[in-house]
Amino acid sequence: MLGFLAACVAEQPPSANRVISLLEQKRFSLDSPLRWHGHLRDEPAKLPWGYGLEIDLDQIEFEGPGLPLRGGLRVSFTPCSEQGSLPELHAGDEVSVLTEAKLPQVFRDEGVFDRRAYLAQQNIDLVAALRSPELIERPARPKHNLATRLAWIRNRLRQEIDTVCIPVTRRGRRNTTFLRKTGRTQCVRMY
């Protein structure tokens, strides 16, 4: 019975105010930068090339008043030496981003990974690159709830793991990680 119910729920069409549905109805266009409003799903992810943000969208400013919508936007930011860093952002923060979003790439090759479907499973409908940290604003601080507290704890745990583990990139030790312990270093093989 539960399996049948899950199958019925999974087959429901997307809601009318979903980003993809609004794009198909041509209610707005992705040809120019737009102001996207929403809430951060998780703490900003520190990536080797910069930062990654995932935003649950609430509305978009397009030709007049805000258009309410639902969906997800993944924003990446690569800092340059002339630019400052991102403002201090945390999970649950209300944010406003001015950027040119686009649909994730799809390659028409049979054997290639389907990135658009993969991101859709994570409720990410659009991707964007933030050109400058001045283009993201935090209008208000969120009310703290269990989900934001768990995201903060997860982020803190990631930071502690990053300080404890030192990846070794020299030739011959590619899959080795050193763990800092009190006064001595311990070597752990990662396969």
In this predicted model, which residue has the larger pLDDT, 2 or 178?
2
Q: What percent of the chain has pLDDT over 70?
A: 77
Q: Which amino acid is at 43?
A: E
Cα→Cα distances 26→21, 101, 121, 189, Å: 9, 15, 23, 53
In this predicted model, which residue has the larger pLDDT, 73 or 14?
73
Domain ranges of the chain: 13-143, 144-191
Planar angle of CA 28, 31, 36, nearest 5 degrees: 60
Q: What is the pTM of this model?
A: 0.70
Where on the phi/psi map is residue 54: left (φ > 0), alpha (ψ -120 to 50), or beta? beta
- How would CATH label the architecture of 13-143? Beta Barrel (2.40)
Q: Which amino acid is at 35?
A: R
